[in-house]
Structure 1
Protein backbone atom coordinates (compact mmCIF):
# COMPACT_ATOMS: atom_id res chain seq x y z
CA UNK A 1 0.00 0.00 0.00
CA UNK A 2 2.79 2.44 0.92
CA UNK A 3 4.58 1.68 -2.36
CA UNK A 4 1.36 2.37 -4.28
CA UNK A 5 0.80 5.71 -2.52
CA UNK A 6 4.38 6.81 -3.17
CA UNK A 7 4.05 6.00 -6.88
CA UNK A 8 0.72 7.82 -7.05
CA UNK A 9 2.13 10.93 -5.37
CA UNK A 10 5.15 10.88 -7.64
CA UNK A 11 2.95 10.66 -10.73
CA UNK A 12 0.76 13.52 -9.50
CA UNK A 13 3.74 15.78 -8.81
CA UNK A 14 5.83 14.91 -11.85
CA UNK A 15 3.25 14.80 -14.60
CA UNK A 16 -0.14 15.67 -13.19
CA UNK A 17 -2.94 15.68 -15.67
CA UNK A 18 -2.45 13.31 -18.58
CA UNK A 19 0.45 15.27 -20.05
CA UNK A 20 3.33 13.69 -21.82
CA UNK A 21 5.35 16.58 -20.48
CA UNK A 22 4.70 20.17 -19.57
CA UNK A 23 6.57 23.16 -20.83
CA UNK A 24 7.45 25.90 -18.41
CA UNK A 25 4.59 28.40 -18.62
CA UNK A 26 3.94 31.90 -17.43
CA UNK A 27 2.39 32.19 -13.99
CA UNK A 28 -1.29 31.97 -13.28
CA UNK A 29 -3.54 29.31 -11.85
CA UNK A 30 -5.51 26.81 -13.87
CA UNK A 31 -8.92 27.81 -15.15
CA UNK A 32 -11.94 26.74 -13.12
CA UNK A 33 -13.10 23.30 -14.20
CA UNK A 34 -16.09 22.87 -16.46
CA UNK A 35 -19.40 22.08 -14.80
CA UNK A 36 -19.97 18.50 -15.94
CA UNK A 37 -22.24 15.97 -14.27
CA UNK A 38 -21.46 12.27 -14.15
CA UNK A 39 -23.84 9.49 -13.15
CA UNK A 40 -21.43 8.47 -10.40
CA UNK A 41 -21.43 11.94 -8.83
CA UNK A 42 -23.08 12.57 -5.49
CA UNK A 43 -23.68 10.30 -2.49
CA UNK A 44 -26.07 8.01 -4.37
CA UNK A 45 -24.38 8.05 -7.78
CA UNK A 46 -23.50 4.84 -9.62
CA UNK A 47 -21.32 4.11 -12.61
CA UNK A 48 -22.99 4.12 -16.00
CA UNK A 49 -21.74 0.75 -17.29
CA UNK A 50 -22.35 1.67 -20.92
CA UNK A 51 -20.37 4.90 -20.57
CA UNK A 52 -17.54 3.13 -18.74
CA UNK A 53 -17.38 0.45 -21.45
CA UNK A 54 -17.21 3.15 -24.12
CA UNK A 55 -14.48 4.85 -22.08
CA UNK A 56 -12.53 1.62 -22.03
CA UNK A 57 -12.80 1.49 -25.82
CA UNK A 58 -11.37 5.03 -25.99
CA UNK A 59 -8.55 4.09 -23.63
CA UNK A 60 -7.80 0.94 -25.61
CA UNK A 61 -7.83 2.60 -29.03
CA UNK A 62 -6.35 6.01 -28.14
CA UNK A 63 -4.83 6.44 -24.68
CA UNK A 64 -3.08 3.08 -24.32
CA UNK A 65 -0.58 4.04 -27.02
CA UNK A 66 1.17 6.22 -24.43
CA UNK A 67 -0.40 5.56 -21.01
CA UNK A 68 -0.53 2.39 -18.96
CA UNK A 69 -2.91 1.33 -16.18
CA UNK A 70 -0.75 -0.90 -14.03
CA UNK A 71 -3.29 -1.36 -11.21
CA UNK A 72 -6.12 -2.63 -13.42
CA UNK A 73 -6.38 -6.30 -14.41
CA UNK A 74 -8.34 -7.55 -17.38
CA UNK A 75 -10.57 -9.61 -15.10
CA UNK A 76 -11.73 -6.38 -13.47
CA UNK A 77 -13.58 -5.59 -16.70
CA UNK A 78 -16.30 -8.07 -15.70
CA UNK A 79 -17.30 -5.46 -13.08
CA UNK A 80 -18.38 -3.05 -15.83
CA UNK A 81 -20.46 -5.54 -17.77
CA UNK A 82 -18.08 -7.53 -19.96
CA UNK A 83 -18.58 -11.29 -19.94
CA UNK A 84 -15.77 -13.68 -19.03
CA UNK A 85 -15.45 -14.74 -22.67
CA UNK A 86 -15.20 -11.11 -23.76
CA UNK A 87 -12.53 -10.46 -21.15
CA UNK A 88 -10.52 -13.48 -22.32
CA UNK A 89 -10.75 -12.23 -25.90
CA UNK A 90 -9.69 -8.70 -24.90
CA UNK A 91 -6.74 -9.98 -22.88
CA UNK A 92 -5.60 -12.30 -25.67
CA UNK A 93 -5.08 -9.29 -27.94
CA UNK A 94 -2.06 -8.33 -25.84
CA UNK A 95 1.31 -9.92 -25.22
CA UNK A 96 3.01 -9.94 -21.81
CA UNK A 97 6.44 -11.04 -20.68
CA UNK A 98 6.48 -13.99 -18.29
CA UNK A 99 9.01 -16.37 -16.83
CA UNK A 100 11.56 -17.48 -16.24
CA UNK A 101 10.88 -20.85 -17.87
CA UNK A 102 12.68 -24.09 -17.05
CA UNK A 103 15.72 -22.83 -18.94
CA UNK A 104 15.81 -19.61 -16.94
CA UNK A 105 14.66 -17.45 -19.84
CA UNK A 106 11.86 -14.89 -19.96
CA UNK A 107 9.29 -15.40 -22.68
CA UNK A 108 6.29 -13.68 -24.24
CA UNK A 109 2.78 -15.10 -24.11
CA UNK A 110 -0.80 -13.90 -24.76
CA UNK A 111 -2.21 -12.03 -21.77
CA UNK A 112 -4.68 -13.74 -19.45
CA UNK A 113 -7.60 -12.21 -17.52
CA UNK A 114 -5.45 -12.24 -14.37
CA UNK A 115 -2.79 -10.03 -15.98
CA UNK A 116 -2.64 -6.29 -15.43
CA UNK A 117 -2.89 -3.88 -18.35
CA UNK A 118 0.61 -3.81 -19.89
CA UNK A 119 2.63 -0.63 -20.25
CA UNK A 120 3.11 0.58 -23.84
CA UNK A 121 6.85 0.90 -23.09
CA UNK A 122 9.31 -1.68 -21.76
CA UNK A 123 10.60 0.64 -19.01
CA UNK A 124 10.32 4.25 -17.79
CA UNK A 125 13.53 5.25 -19.57
CA UNK A 126 12.15 4.10 -22.91
CA UNK A 127 8.88 5.91 -22.21
CA UNK A 128 10.70 9.15 -21.44
CA UNK A 129 12.97 8.83 -24.47
CA UNK A 130 9.93 8.46 -26.72
CA UNK A 131 8.09 11.43 -25.25
CA UNK A 132 10.38 14.41 -25.00
CA UNK A 133 12.19 13.32 -21.88
CA UNK A 134 9.17 12.77 -19.62
CA UNK A 135 7.45 9.40 -19.24
CA UNK A 136 3.65 9.57 -19.71
CA UNK A 137 1.90 9.08 -16.35
CA UNK A 138 0.06 5.91 -15.47
CA UNK A 139 -3.70 6.53 -15.57
CA UNK A 140 -4.83 4.00 -12.96
CA UNK A 141 -5.28 6.61 -10.23
CA UNK A 142 -5.22 9.83 -12.24
CA UNK A 143 -8.70 10.97 -11.21
CA UNK A 144 -7.68 10.58 -7.56
CA UNK A 145 -4.56 12.72 -8.01
CA UNK A 146 -6.55 15.94 -7.56
CA UNK A 147 -10.00 16.95 -6.30
CA UNK A 148 -12.85 16.50 -8.76
CA UNK A 149 -10.48 14.52 -10.94
CA UNK A 150 -13.08 13.29 -13.42
CA UNK A 151 -14.12 16.87 -14.19
CA UNK A 152 -10.45 17.79 -14.51
CA UNK A 153 -9.85 15.05 -17.09
CA UNK A 154 -12.95 16.13 -19.03
CA UNK A 155 -11.99 19.82 -18.90
CA UNK A 156 -8.41 19.10 -19.96
CA UNK A 157 -9.44 16.92 -22.90
CA UNK A 158 -11.96 19.45 -24.20
CA UNK A 159 -10.09 22.63 -23.23
CA UNK A 160 -7.38 22.88 -25.88
CA UNK A 161 -7.13 26.34 -27.41
CA UNK A 162 -9.59 28.01 -25.02
CA UNK A 163 -9.09 31.47 -23.55
CA UNK A 164 -8.20 31.98 -19.91
CA UNK A 165 -10.72 32.77 -17.16
CA UNK A 166 -10.61 36.49 -18.03
CA UNK A 167 -11.21 35.84 -21.73
CA UNK A 168 -7.63 36.55 -22.81
CA UNK A 169 -5.99 34.70 -25.68
CA UNK A 170 -3.13 32.47 -24.57
CA UNK A 171 0.08 31.61 -26.39
CA UNK A 172 2.61 28.83 -25.90
CA UNK A 173 6.11 28.00 -27.14
CA UNK A 174 6.47 25.92 -30.26
CA UNK A 175 5.84 22.24 -29.61
CA UNK A 176 3.37 22.88 -26.78
CA UNK A 177 -0.36 23.55 -26.79
CA UNK A 178 -2.66 26.00 -25.05
CA UNK A 179 -4.82 24.43 -22.37
CA UNK A 180 -5.93 26.75 -19.53
CA UNK A 181 -7.09 23.78 -17.41
CA UNK A 182 -3.61 22.25 -17.13
CA UNK A 183 -2.50 22.44 -13.50
CA UNK A 184 1.17 23.16 -14.28
CA UNK A 185 0.47 26.23 -16.39
CA UNK A 186 -1.49 26.84 -19.57
CA UNK A 187 1.05 25.17 -21.89
CA UNK A 188 0.98 21.39 -22.24
CA UNK A 189 3.25 19.17 -24.34
CA UNK A 190 0.56 16.59 -25.06
CA UNK A 191 -1.12 17.27 -28.40
CA UNK A 192 -4.95 17.29 -28.41
CA UNK A 193 -5.68 13.56 -28.07
CA UNK A 194 -9.35 13.46 -29.08
CA UNK A 195 -11.70 14.92 -31.65
CA UNK A 196 -15.10 14.23 -33.15
CA UNK A 197 -15.46 10.74 -34.64
CA UNK A 198 -12.04 9.65 -33.42
CA UNK A 199 -13.52 6.27 -32.51
CA UNK A 200 -16.49 4.31 -33.77
CA UNK A 201 -18.41 3.20 -30.71
CA UNK A 202 -19.47 -0.42 -30.68
CA UNK A 203 -22.91 0.53 -29.35
CA UNK A 204 -23.53 3.14 -32.05
CA UNK A 205 -23.31 6.19 -29.79
CA UNK A 206 -22.34 9.38 -31.64
CA UNK A 207 -18.63 9.88 -30.95
CA UNK A 208 -18.50 13.64 -30.42
CA UNK A 209 -15.46 15.10 -28.68
CA UNK A 210 -17.57 15.89 -25.63
CA UNK A 211 -18.96 12.33 -25.52
CA UNK A 212 -15.51 10.79 -25.88
CA UNK A 213 -14.11 12.98 -23.09
CA UNK A 214 -17.04 12.16 -20.82
CA UNK A 215 -16.78 8.43 -21.42
CA UNK A 216 -13.04 8.15 -20.89
CA UNK A 217 -13.34 10.30 -17.76
CA UNK A 218 -15.97 7.89 -16.43
CA UNK A 219 -13.73 4.92 -17.23
CA UNK A 220 -10.77 6.49 -15.44
CA UNK A 221 -12.95 7.30 -12.43
CA UNK A 222 -14.02 3.65 -12.25
CA UNK A 223 -10.44 2.44 -12.65
CA UNK A 224 -9.32 4.66 -9.78
CA UNK A 225 -12.15 3.59 -7.45
CA UNK A 226 -13.87 0.40 -8.64
CA UNK A 227 -15.43 -0.19 -5.20
CA UNK A 228 -17.04 3.26 -5.02
CA UNK A 229 -20.58 1.93 -5.28
CA UNK A 230 -20.00 -0.55 -2.45
CA UNK A 231 -18.54 2.25 -0.34
CA UNK A 232 -21.57 4.45 -0.93
CA UNK A 233 -23.97 1.61 -0.17
CA UNK A 234 -22.14 0.91 3.08
CA UNK A 235 -22.27 4.60 3.94
CA UNK A 236 -26.05 4.66 3.48
CA UNK A 237 -26.43 1.58 5.70
CA UNK A 238 -24.25 3.16 8.40
CA UNK A 239 -26.26 6.39 8.33
CA UNK A 240 -29.57 4.49 8.56
CA UNK A 241 -28.20 2.44 11.46
CA UNK A 242 -27.06 5.59 13.29
CA UNK A 243 -30.49 7.18 12.81
CA UNK A 244 -32.18 4.05 14.15
CA UNK A 245 -29.74 3.91 17.08
CA UNK A 246 -30.34 7.59 17.84
CA UNK A 247 -34.10 6.99 18.02
CA UNK A 248 -33.61 4.02 20.35
CA UNK A 249 -31.29 6.03 22.60
CA UNK A 250 -33.75 8.94 22.71
CA UNK A 251 -36.64 6.64 23.67
CA UNK A 252 -34.49 4.93 26.29
CA UNK A 253 -33.45 8.29 27.70
CA UNK A 254 -37.07 9.43 27.99
CA UNK A 255 -38.10 6.20 29.68
CA UNK A 256 -35.22 6.21 32.20
CA UNK A 257 -35.13 9.89 33.04
CA UNK A 258 -38.88 10.19 33.00
CA UNK A 259 -39.05 8.16 36.20
CA UNK A 260 -37.03 10.80 38.04
CA UNK A 261 -39.66 13.49 37.49
Structure 2
Protein backbone atom coordinates (compact mmCIF):
# COMPACT_ATOMS: atom_id res chain seq x y z
CA UNK A 1 0.00 0.00 0.00
CA UNK A 2 2.84 2.37 0.87
CA UNK A 3 4.45 1.79 -2.52
CA UNK A 4 1.15 2.49 -4.27
CA UNK A 5 0.75 5.80 -2.40
CA UNK A 6 4.30 6.89 -3.26
CA UNK A 7 3.77 5.91 -6.89
CA UNK A 8 0.52 7.89 -7.11
CA UNK A 9 2.15 11.02 -5.62
CA UNK A 10 5.10 10.75 -7.99
CA UNK A 11 2.83 10.32 -11.00
CA UNK A 12 0.76 13.36 -10.08
CA UNK A 13 3.82 15.49 -9.46
CA UNK A 14 5.39 14.50 -12.76
CA UNK A 15 2.09 14.99 -14.54
CA UNK A 16 1.97 18.65 -13.53
CA UNK A 17 4.82 19.63 -15.87
CA UNK A 18 3.00 18.76 -19.13
CA UNK A 19 0.00 20.72 -17.88
CA UNK A 20 2.15 23.76 -17.36
CA UNK A 21 3.44 23.50 -20.90
CA UNK A 22 0.03 22.96 -22.45
CA UNK A 23 -1.70 25.78 -20.53
CA UNK A 24 0.81 28.55 -20.98
CA UNK A 25 4.42 27.59 -21.57
CA UNK A 26 7.23 27.30 -19.06
CA UNK A 27 6.08 29.25 -16.03
CA UNK A 28 8.91 30.71 -13.94
CA UNK A 29 8.88 30.03 -10.23
CA UNK A 30 8.91 33.31 -8.30
CA UNK A 31 9.32 33.73 -4.55
CA UNK A 32 6.34 35.77 -3.35
CA UNK A 33 5.92 36.84 0.26
CA UNK A 34 2.41 35.37 0.47
CA UNK A 35 3.39 31.81 -0.48
CA UNK A 36 3.27 28.97 2.01
CA UNK A 37 1.12 28.50 5.12
CA UNK A 38 2.77 31.41 6.95
CA UNK A 39 3.14 33.81 4.02
CA UNK A 40 1.49 37.24 4.06
CA UNK A 41 1.08 40.06 1.60
CA UNK A 42 3.78 42.72 1.50
CA UNK A 43 1.90 46.00 2.00
CA UNK A 44 4.59 48.07 0.28
CA UNK A 45 4.65 45.70 -2.69
CA UNK A 46 0.85 45.85 -3.03
CA UNK A 47 1.02 49.66 -3.07
CA UNK A 48 3.60 49.54 -5.83
CA UNK A 49 1.47 47.04 -7.73
CA UNK A 50 -1.55 49.33 -7.38
CA UNK A 51 0.50 52.15 -8.90
CA UNK A 52 1.44 49.97 -11.89
CA UNK A 53 -2.15 48.83 -12.36
CA UNK A 54 -3.41 52.42 -12.20
CA UNK A 55 -0.80 53.92 -14.52
CA UNK A 56 -0.51 51.07 -17.04
CA UNK A 57 -3.00 48.21 -16.76
CA UNK A 58 -6.22 50.11 -16.03
CA UNK A 59 -6.27 51.63 -19.52
CA UNK A 60 -7.32 48.26 -20.97
CA UNK A 61 -8.26 46.10 -17.98
CA UNK A 62 -10.87 46.47 -15.26
CA UNK A 63 -11.32 44.87 -11.84
CA UNK A 64 -15.08 44.92 -11.48
CA UNK A 65 -15.24 42.43 -8.60
CA UNK A 66 -12.87 44.35 -6.30
CA UNK A 67 -14.46 46.97 -3.99
CA UNK A 68 -12.48 50.18 -3.66
CA UNK A 69 -12.88 50.08 0.13
CA UNK A 70 -10.66 46.97 0.16
CA UNK A 71 -7.66 49.24 -0.53
CA UNK A 72 -7.88 50.41 3.07
CA UNK A 73 -8.65 47.11 4.76
CA UNK A 74 -6.08 45.12 6.79
CA UNK A 75 -4.01 42.66 4.78
CA UNK A 76 -4.05 44.77 1.61
CA UNK A 77 -2.33 47.97 0.49
CA UNK A 78 -3.82 49.54 3.64
CA UNK A 79 -4.26 53.04 2.27
CA UNK A 80 -5.55 55.62 4.70
CA UNK A 81 -9.29 56.51 4.52
CA UNK A 82 -8.36 59.83 2.89
CA UNK A 83 -6.18 58.08 0.29
CA UNK A 84 -8.95 55.59 -0.52
CA UNK A 85 -11.52 58.37 -0.97
CA UNK A 86 -9.11 60.35 -3.14
CA UNK A 87 -8.33 57.30 -5.28
CA UNK A 88 -12.04 56.52 -5.71
CA UNK A 89 -12.90 60.13 -6.60
CA UNK A 90 -10.55 59.97 -9.59
CA UNK A 91 -12.71 57.23 -11.12
CA UNK A 92 -16.13 57.83 -12.63
CA UNK A 93 -19.27 55.68 -12.68
CA UNK A 94 -22.62 56.16 -14.37
CA UNK A 95 -25.38 56.58 -11.78
CA UNK A 96 -28.84 55.59 -13.13
CA UNK A 97 -30.52 57.59 -10.38
CA UNK A 98 -28.75 60.77 -11.45
CA UNK A 99 -28.78 59.75 -15.11
CA UNK A 100 -25.26 61.11 -15.25
CA UNK A 101 -21.67 60.30 -14.40
CA UNK A 102 -20.32 60.91 -10.90
CA UNK A 103 -17.06 60.27 -9.01
CA UNK A 104 -16.90 56.82 -7.46
CA UNK A 105 -17.27 56.30 -3.74
CA UNK A 106 -15.38 53.81 -1.59
CA UNK A 107 -18.53 51.67 -1.61
CA UNK A 108 -18.22 51.27 -5.39
CA UNK A 109 -16.04 48.71 -7.15
CA UNK A 110 -13.15 49.25 -9.53
CA UNK A 111 -14.32 50.16 -13.05
CA UNK A 112 -15.24 47.71 -15.79
CA UNK A 113 -13.36 48.33 -19.02
CA UNK A 114 -15.12 47.27 -22.20
CA UNK A 115 -14.83 47.94 -25.90
CA UNK A 116 -12.78 46.88 -28.90
CA UNK A 117 -9.20 46.00 -28.05
CA UNK A 118 -9.82 45.96 -24.31
CA UNK A 119 -8.33 43.11 -22.31
CA UNK A 120 -10.00 40.69 -19.88
CA UNK A 121 -11.01 41.75 -16.39
CA UNK A 122 -8.20 41.20 -13.90
CA UNK A 123 -10.29 40.73 -10.74
CA UNK A 124 -9.71 36.99 -10.55
CA UNK A 125 -6.99 36.53 -13.17
CA UNK A 126 -4.51 35.09 -10.65
CA UNK A 127 -7.07 32.56 -9.42
CA UNK A 128 -8.36 31.82 -12.91
CA UNK A 129 -4.98 30.29 -13.69
CA UNK A 130 -5.67 27.53 -11.14
CA UNK A 131 -4.78 24.95 -13.79
CA UNK A 132 -1.16 25.84 -13.16
CA UNK A 133 -1.34 24.52 -9.62
CA UNK A 134 -1.23 20.90 -10.70
CA UNK A 135 -3.06 18.19 -12.65
CA UNK A 136 -6.83 18.04 -12.21
CA UNK A 137 -6.74 20.76 -9.57
CA UNK A 138 -4.71 18.70 -7.08
CA UNK A 139 -2.48 21.69 -6.32
CA UNK A 140 0.76 19.68 -6.33
CA UNK A 141 2.71 22.19 -8.42
CA UNK A 142 1.85 25.01 -6.06
CA UNK A 143 2.55 22.81 -3.04
CA UNK A 144 5.99 21.71 -4.21
CA UNK A 145 7.13 24.59 -6.44
CA UNK A 146 4.97 27.58 -5.54
CA UNK A 147 3.87 27.88 -9.17
CA UNK A 148 0.44 29.42 -9.66
CA UNK A 149 -1.45 32.36 -11.11
CA UNK A 150 0.95 35.14 -10.03
CA UNK A 151 3.86 33.26 -11.57
CA UNK A 152 1.92 32.91 -14.82
CA UNK A 153 1.21 36.66 -14.95
CA UNK A 154 4.85 37.44 -14.18
CA UNK A 155 6.04 35.05 -16.89
CA UNK A 156 3.74 36.53 -19.53
CA UNK A 157 4.86 40.08 -18.70
CA UNK A 158 8.55 39.19 -18.92
CA UNK A 159 8.57 36.85 -21.95
CA UNK A 160 8.27 39.25 -24.88
CA UNK A 161 11.00 38.92 -27.50
CA UNK A 162 10.43 42.23 -29.29
CA UNK A 163 9.29 40.52 -32.50
CA UNK A 164 5.88 41.28 -34.02
CA UNK A 165 3.82 40.23 -37.01
CA UNK A 166 0.64 41.31 -38.78
CA UNK A 167 -2.08 38.75 -39.36
CA UNK A 168 -5.57 39.43 -40.69
CA UNK A 169 -5.09 43.14 -40.13
CA UNK A 170 -4.06 42.75 -36.48
CA UNK A 171 -0.66 43.01 -34.85
CA UNK A 172 0.64 40.16 -32.72
CA UNK A 173 3.68 40.13 -30.46
CA UNK A 174 5.96 37.19 -29.86
CA UNK A 175 5.74 35.84 -26.33
CA UNK A 176 7.09 32.35 -25.72
CA UNK A 177 5.03 31.93 -22.53
CA UNK A 178 1.73 32.36 -24.38
CA UNK A 179 1.45 29.00 -26.11
CA UNK A 180 -2.32 29.28 -26.52
CA UNK A 181 -1.55 31.67 -29.36
CA UNK A 182 1.35 29.55 -30.58
CA UNK A 183 3.76 31.99 -29.00
CA UNK A 184 2.00 35.14 -30.26
CA UNK A 185 -0.18 37.44 -28.19
CA UNK A 186 -2.38 40.40 -29.13
CA UNK A 187 -1.35 42.46 -26.11
CA UNK A 188 1.81 44.49 -26.74
CA UNK A 189 4.55 44.58 -24.15
CA UNK A 190 3.51 46.85 -21.28
CA UNK A 191 6.28 46.52 -18.72
CA UNK A 192 9.66 48.11 -19.44
CA UNK A 193 12.55 49.20 -17.26
CA UNK A 194 11.83 52.45 -15.41
CA UNK A 195 8.37 52.85 -16.97
CA UNK A 196 7.08 53.97 -13.55
CA UNK A 197 8.75 55.93 -10.77
CA UNK A 198 8.43 54.65 -7.22
CA UNK A 199 8.53 57.11 -4.36
CA UNK A 200 10.06 54.55 -2.00
CA UNK A 201 13.12 54.00 -4.19
CA UNK A 202 12.34 50.34 -4.97
CA UNK A 203 13.87 48.79 -8.12
CA UNK A 204 12.02 49.67 -11.32
CA UNK A 205 13.52 47.15 -13.74
CA UNK A 206 10.98 45.20 -15.77
CA UNK A 207 11.25 42.03 -13.67
CA UNK A 208 10.72 43.90 -10.38
CA UNK A 209 7.73 45.75 -11.83
CA UNK A 210 6.22 42.53 -13.16
CA UNK A 211 6.60 40.91 -9.74
CA UNK A 212 4.94 43.86 -7.99
CA UNK A 213 1.89 43.96 -10.24
CA UNK A 214 1.56 40.16 -10.15
CA UNK A 215 1.47 40.26 -6.35
CA UNK A 216 -1.18 43.01 -6.49
CA UNK A 217 -3.35 40.96 -8.86
CA UNK A 218 -3.07 37.99 -6.50
CA UNK A 219 -4.38 40.24 -3.73
CA UNK A 220 -7.19 41.42 -6.05
CA UNK A 221 -8.17 37.79 -6.62
CA UNK A 222 -7.96 36.85 -2.95
CA UNK A 223 -7.93 39.93 -0.68
CA UNK A 224 -8.80 37.87 2.42
CA UNK A 225 -5.86 35.48 2.05
CA UNK A 226 -4.21 36.54 5.33
CA UNK A 227 -7.47 36.22 7.26
CA UNK A 228 -8.12 32.81 5.71
CA UNK A 229 -4.69 31.57 6.77
CA UNK A 230 -5.20 32.86 10.32
CA UNK A 231 -8.54 31.05 10.46
CA UNK A 232 -6.72 27.92 9.29
CA UNK A 233 -4.15 28.22 12.10
CA UNK A 234 -6.94 28.45 14.67
CA UNK A 235 -8.75 25.50 13.11
CA UNK A 236 -5.62 23.32 13.18
CA UNK A 237 -4.88 24.33 16.77
CA UNK A 238 -8.41 23.42 17.83
CA UNK A 239 -8.12 20.04 16.10
CA UNK A 240 -4.84 19.34 17.89
CA UNK A 241 -6.34 20.24 21.28
CA UNK A 242 -9.45 18.19 20.52
CA UNK A 243 -7.33 15.21 19.49
CA UNK A 244 -5.36 15.36 22.75
CA UNK A 245 -8.55 15.61 24.81
CA UNK A 246 -10.10 12.68 22.95
CA UNK A 247 -6.96 10.62 23.47
CA UNK A 248 -6.94 11.08 27.24
CA UNK A 249 -10.72 10.71 27.45
CA UNK A 250 -10.46 7.42 25.60
CA UNK A 251 -7.75 6.19 27.95
CA UNK A 252 -9.81 7.19 30.99
CA UNK A 253 -13.00 5.49 29.72
CA UNK A 254 -11.28 2.23 28.80
CA UNK A 255 -8.93 2.03 31.77
CA UNK A 256 -11.36 -0.06 33.95
CA UNK A 257 -12.01 -2.48 31.11
CA UNK A 258 -8.32 -2.97 30.35
CA UNK A 259 -7.61 -3.38 34.06
CA UNK A 260 -10.12 -6.23 34.35
CA UNK A 261 -8.61 -8.05 31.37
CA UNK A 262 -5.15 -7.96 32.96
CA UNK A 263 -6.60 -9.34 36.23
Which residue of structure 2 aligns with residue 237 of structure 1?
Answer: 234
5+ residue gaps, structure 2: 1-20, 131-147, 259-263
Shift of 1:183: 4.9
Which residue of structure 2 aligns with residue 150 of structure 1?
Answer: 150
CA distance in 2, matches of 1:84, 1:156: 34
Are the structure 2 counterparts of residues 183 and 244 from structure 1 closer, same or farther at C-alpha, using a change threshold of 3 Å?
Answer: farther
Which residue, out of 112, 129, 145, partners 1:119? 112
Which residue of structure 1 aligns with residue 124 of structure 2?
Answer: 141
Does residue 179 (structure 1) correspond to residue 175 (structure 2)? The answer is: yes
5+ residue gaps, structure 1: 1-26, 163-170
Alignment of 1:48-197 (within 5 A): 48-79=42-73, 80-101=77-98, 106-120=99-113, 124=114, 127-128=115-116, 131=117, 135-147=118-130, 148-161=148-161, 173-174=165-166, 175-184=171-180, 185-197=182-194
Runs of 4+, deviation exceeding 4 Å: none
Shift of 1:193: 0.8
Are the structure 2 counterparts of residues 191 and 206 from structure 1 closer, same or farther at C-alpha, using a change threshold of 3 Å?
Answer: same
Cα RMSD for the two superposed structures: 1.9
Do the aligned partners of 1:30 and 1:186 also contact (CA within 8 Å) in 2?
no
Which residue of structure 2 aligns with residue 202 of structure 1?
Answer: 199
Do the aligned partners of 1:59 and 1:216 also contact (CA within 8 Å) in 2?
yes
CA distance in 2, matches of 1:241, 1:29: 39
What is the aligned residue count? 213
Do the aligned partners of 1:156 and 1:179 also contact (CA within 8 Å) in 2?
yes
CA distance in 2, matches of 1:210, 1:237: 36
Higher mean C-alpha displacement, 231-240 vs 153-162: 153-162
CA distance in 1, matches of 2:125, 2:22: 23
CA distance in 2, matches of 1:243, 1:29: 39
Once the two structures are superposed, residues 112-166 of structure 1 have per-residue CA deviations (whole angstroms, 9 ceiling, x without a partner) of: 211211234xxx4xx12xx1xxx4100000001113101100111111129xxxx
Shift of 1:73: 2.1
CA distance in 2, matches of 1:139, 1:192: 17
Greater share of strand: 2
Once the two structures are superposed, residues 174-214 of structure 1 have per-residue CA deviations (whole angstroms, 9 ceiling, x without a partner) of: 32122222251311111111010010012221211111101
Once the two structures are superposed, residues 80-137 of structure 1 have per-residue CA deviations (whole angstroms, 9 ceiling, x without a partner) of: 2200001111111122211333xxxx111122211211234xxx4xx12xx1xxx410
CA distance in 2, matches of 1:94, 1:100: 18
Which residue of structure 2 aligns with residue 253 of structure 1?
Answer: 250
Under a length normalisation based on structure 2, what TM-score does the superposition of the two structures give?
A: 0.76
Greater share of helix: 2
Do the aligned partners of 2:22 and 2:179 also contact (CA within 8 Å) in 1?
no
Under a length normalisation based on structure 1, what TM-score does the superposition of the two structures give?
A: 0.77
